[in-house]
Amino acid sequence: MSEKRPRLQKRKSNPLDRWSIEDAADLYGVDRWGKDIFAIDENGNVVMCAGGKRIDLKSLTDEIRLRGLELPVLIRFRDILRHRFSVIHSAFGKAIEEHAYQGSFRPVYPIKVNQHRHIVEDIVTLGAEFHHGLEAGSKPELLIAIAYHRDPEAIIVCNGFKDREYVDSALLAQRLGQKVFLVVEKLAELGLILDRARAIKVEPLLGVRMKLSSRGRGQWESSSGDKSKFGLQAREILEAIFILRRRRMLDRLQLLHMHIGSQITDIQRFKQAAREACCIFREVSRLGAPINYIDVGGGMAVDYDGSRTNFPSSANYGPEEYAADIVDAVTNVCREASLPHPNIVIEAGRALVAHHSLLVVEALSSSDIENGLAPPPMPKKPHEVLVRMNEIVEGITAKNFQEAYHDAKQARQDALTLFNHGHLSLEDRAGVETGFRAACNRIVRHVRRLDYAPDDLAGLESILASTYFCNYSLFQSIPDHWAIKQLFPVMPLCRLDEKPTANAVLADITCDSDGVMDQFVDLRDVRHTLPLHPLKKGEPYYIGIFLIGAYQEILGDLHNLFGDTTVVHVSSTDGGYVIDKTIGGDTVMEVLAYVQFTRDGINAKLRDRVEEALRRGSLTLDQSAVLTRRFERMLDSDTYLAAD
Ligand SMILES: Cc1ncc(COP(=O)(O)O)c(C=O)c1O
């Protein structure tokens, strides 16, 4: 399926500030990490452009708000999901054609990546034409798979540790006309599965997870290798074959499974693992198991930073190369061992769903001290340390800026020590801090002209960074940024025809100093600040946090009791877009219920407090009425900050 990219008109650079939307695209890397799905239009707004359509994200957000929905809002684009299906299936289609491969491509969606019902429904619907199946790793996920899977050509893969209930349900699901593979993760599971299959008289479809020596690379590399907690080693695979032979059930072993981790950034790791897995396939086939599915697991990486490298937030390959290497590895081993081509299964989760979700947050205010506050008045008799700081600032030149930086830091440190010993006034301290900032501002101009910044000056941009306070919770919406410093593309959705002049970090509204996004994608390295525009009074400034469709929603937590955000599902139409679904965010009462508070219980406690205060006379009857009504209203409101 070929997709036409909308033609975006080029806007001429303004010769005065030499800034164009091409500069913005380059700065934020949108043409790299957002290739074919996001772009900047001639008005300087970000547009969703998958499938040749075009939706202006600034206008979309404005219109979402006009409907009475509050930010932050998570927007899921069906066009992008469709596009990702097409990218992955076209890649395998091409590889299969080029290798004259006889088997079929039968991918499954690992439900764990994003279990939300609306996503599972979309996956099942959009994946139907490709026979895209489902993968479950637990009992709840298995129930989702059984209930939602409809296609007898597609498969269900059951991974994860299993008990009798899990096994029975998977076996019985076969009676619904579904192809359900039970993948043996530990040898002990095999006996359980065989016993239950005999007891309920179902011929099981069996798979074995291979414990490969080849390892993935990156954050999740412990999912593979000899020490990984899943899978059977060579000796155990042999034992499984002996058991199956003894029980005359070797013909039920039809699938081999591997998974070397998520976000595998280096294609070499896949090549090595696929080769090892194919050799096991050759041997298991030689020993008599009719393997007709090879499942290479998940791990296809997302190029979050657009650098196309083996950096943890990137990938040095794309779906086409991945597909070609997998098909090539299986074809080669089949040729060498004269085996029929098995069907190829992949469990790509991240690569399928990450792109289609975007969080839109609003910057509420910024800490821009320089812009906001005038310098403090000079004390009548300024302290020596303040005089020294002012002299440093005045004396900064292209030749001495590094030395001046050291001197300014020393003066600031001296001032702090003096202050803590009671020898410096608050006015002097404020003057020194302002001077230090002025010095940094002057020095950074010199540093920016250098090809390489000396190590001790590299942190200057962070010192000068503004903090933009945004209405979101990092812990709820982008937990991997907090937990493992994973990078996600972030950029303003509008004003991209204007040069951004602030460098900022994005603080959330939790009461946790960790709730700050302070690492951003960069082509060569990691940026510690994000270029943004100064906020304008009365004009909303929307910032998009992109590619968050995989894992973030389900790993998110209720830190400070900020709950799920509002979600809207959007599809393009010929002339614009439609909002297919709106899913309200958690209300205050809903998050309170997660932590075992009940409405009646909390209302009763309030009433007691109010009555006590009325008796004491510290609250009037009118005030008690206002407080009670407000309390009741708040229980049903959103957990995030409401617009006035
Ligand atoms: C067994 C298995 N399959 C598939 C996946 C999905 O991986 P990814 O989202 O990286 O494609 C995982 C996640 O780690 C997994 O454990």
Are 264 and 297 a contacting pair, CB within 8 Å? no
- Mean of per-residue pLDDT scores for the chain: 93
Q: Is 498 helix (H, G, I), strand (E, B) or coil?
A: coil
CA distances from 366 to 318, 359, 438, 507, 527 (A): 38, 20, 18, 9, 19
CA distances from 22 to 54, 309, 541, 606 (A): 18, 23, 20, 57
Position 206 scores a pLDDT of: 98
Same domain, 31 and 50: yes
**Mean per-residue pLDDT for 504-530?**
92
Position 7 scores a pLDDT of: 45
Task: Give 52's Cβ-side CA count (13 Å radius).
Answer: 5
Same domain, 279 and 207: yes
Position 457 scores a pLDDT of: 86
Nearest CA to ligand 1 atom 4: 298
Residues 6+ apart with CB under 8 A from 46: 30, 38, 39, 40, 56, 57, 58, 491, 492, 493, 494, 496, 544
Of the candidates 251, 205, 257, 206, the residue with the CA atom closest to the CA atom of residue 230: 257
Q: Is 507 helix (H, G, I), strand (E, B) or coil?
A: strand
**Cross-sheet strand order for the sheet of 133-136:** 108-110, 133-136, 155-158, 179-184, 205-209, 253-257, 293-295, 343-345
> Tokens at residue 428, please?
């002097």
Residues 6+ apart with CB under 8 A from 623: none
pLDDT in tens, 562-601: 999 999 999 999 889 999 999 999 999 999 999 999 999 9
Same domain, 385 and 494: no
pLDDT in tens, 483-515: 999 999 999 999 999 999 999 999 999 999 899
The answer to whether residue 96 sits within a structural domain is no
Ligand 1 closest atom vs CA 159: 1
Same domain, 179 and 325: yes
* Boundary residue ending a domain (334, 356, 378): 356
pLDDT in tens, 165-194: 999 999 999 999 999 999 999 999 999 999
What DSSP string runs through 562-596?
A: --PPEEEEEEE-SSSEEEEEEE---BHHHHHHHTT
Residues 6+ apart with CB under 8 A from 483: 555
Rounded to a whole number of angstroms, the distance between the first and last alpha carbons of the chain is: 46
Same domain, 188 and 308: yes
Cβ–Cβ contacts within 10 Å for residue 214, how many?
A: 18
> Which residue has 């270029």 as its token pair?
531
pLDDT higher than threshold 90 for residue 120: yes
Same domain, 630 and 558: no
Q: Is 300 in the pocket of ligand 1 (CB under 6 A)?
A: yes
Q: Which DSSP state fits 226?
A: T
Task: Quote the ligand 1 centre to 296 CA distance (angstroms).
Answer: 10
* Boundary residue ending a domain (325, 356, 387): 356
Secondary-structure percent of the chain, ordered helix, strand, coil, rounded to 5? 45, 15, 40
pLDDT in tens, 542-561: 999 999 999 999 999 999 99
Q: What's the CATH number where 69 sits?
A: 2.40.37.10
Going by pLDDT thresholds of 50, 70 and 90, the confidence category of residue 426 is very high
Nearest CA to ligand 1 atom 15: 298
Nearest CA to ligand 1 atom 12: 298
Position 222 scores a pLDDT of: 63
The answer to whether residue 271 sits within a structural domain is yes
Position 452 scores a pLDDT of: 78
Task: Quote the ligand 1 centre to 257 CA distance (angstroms).
Answer: 12
Position 632 scores a pLDDT of: 96
Q: Is 492 in the pocket of ligand 1 (CB under 6 A)?
A: no
Rounded-to-integer distance, Cα 149 and Cα 146, Å = 6
The answer to whether residue 504 sits within a structural domain is no
Are 63 and 69 a contacting pair, CB within 8 Å? no
Going by pLDDT thresholds of 50, 70 and 90, the confidence category of residue 13 is very low
Same domain, 138 and 209: yes
The answer to whether residue 56 sits within a structural domain is yes
Q: Is 567 helix (H, G, I), strand (E, B) or coil?
A: strand
**Cross-sheet strand order for the sheet of 55-56:** 38-40, 46-48, 55-56
pLDDT higher than threshold 60 for residue 4: no
Are 510 and 559 a contacting pair, CB within 8 Å? yes
Rg (CA), the chain: 29
> Tokens at residue 316, please?
């040095």
The answer to whether residue 49 sits within a structural domain is yes
Position 6 scores a pLDDT of: 46
**Mean per-residue pLDDT for 619-642?**
96
Q: What's the CATH number where 147 sits?
A: 3.20.20.10
Number of structural domains found in the chain: 4
* Boundary residue ending a domain (557, 580, 603): 580
pLDDT higher than threshold 70 for residue 223: no
What DSSP string runs through 333-396?
A: HHHHHT-PPPEEE----HHHHGGGEEEEEEEEEE--HHHHSPPPPPPSS--HHHHHHHHHHHT-
Quickly list H helices, 71-214.
78-98, 117-127, 139-148, 164-173, 187-200
Task: Quote the ligand 1 centre to 374 CA distance (angstroms).
Answer: 53
> Which residue has 């004396």 as its token pair?
395
Position 12 scores a pLDDT of: 45
Rounded-to-integer distance, Cα 627 and Cα 624, Å = 5
Same domain, 108 and 29: no
Q: Is 466 helix (H, G, I), strand (E, B) or coil?
A: strand
pLDDT higher than threshold 90 for residue 201: yes
Of the candidates 530, 531, 448, the residue with the CA atom closest to the CA atom of residue 487: 530
Same domain, 385 and 484: no
Cα 2 from chain centroid?
27
The answer to whether residue 81 sits within a structural domain is no
Same domain, 3 and 126: no
Same domain, 26 and 133: no
Position 636 scores a pLDDT of: 96
Rounded-to-integer distance, Cα 562 and Cα 361, Å = 14
Same domain, 457 and 476: no
> Tokens at residue 123, please?
């996956």
pLDDT higher than threshold 60 for residue 475: yes
> Tokens at residue 563, please?
């709950």
Task: Quote the ligand 1 centre to 348 CA distance (angstroms).
Answer: 7
Q: Which of 123, 259, 313 to mutate to test the pocket of ligand 1 (most atoms within 8 A of CB)?
A: 259
Domain that holds residue 63: 1-75+471-498+509-580
Rounded-to-integer distance, Cα 443 and Cα 398, Å = 8
DSSP element (H, E) containing 158: strand 155-158
Going by pLDDT thresholds of 50, 70 and 90, the confidence category of residue 348 is very high
Q: What's the CATH number where 415 sits?
A: 1.20.58.930
Going by pLDDT thresholds of 50, 70 and 90, the confidence category of residue 458 is confident
Higher-confidence residue: 453 or 39?
A: 39
Are 193 and 184 a contacting pair, CB within 8 Å? yes
The answer to whether residue 411 sits within a structural domain is yes
Going by pLDDT thresholds of 50, 70 and 90, the confidence category of residue 9 is very low
Q: Is 515 in the pocket of ligand 1 (CB under 6 A)?
A: no
The answer to whether residue 394 sits within a structural domain is yes
Position 294 scores a pLDDT of: 98
pLDDT higher than threshold 60 for residue 310: yes
Q: Is 297 in the pocket of ligand 1 (CB under 6 A)?
A: yes
pLDDT higher than threshold 80 for residue 217: no
Q: Which of 84, 109, 112 to mutate to test the pocket of ligand 1 (most atoms within 8 A of CB)?
A: 112
Higher-confidence residue: 600 or 371?
A: 600
Determine what percent of the chain is predicted with pLDDT higher than 90.
87
Task: Quote the ligand 1 centre to 156 CA distance (angstroms).
Answer: 14
**What secondary structure, in 3-state letters, does 183-218 show?**
EECCHHHHHHHHHHHHHHCCCCEEEEEECCCCCCCC
Q: Which of 88, 138, 262 to mutate to test the pocket of ligand 1 (most atoms within 8 A of CB)?
A: 262
**Mean per-residue pLDDT for 241-257?**
98
Q: Is 207 in the pocket of ligand 1 (CB under 6 A)?
A: no
Cβ–Cβ contacts within 10 Å for residue 423, how many?
A: 12
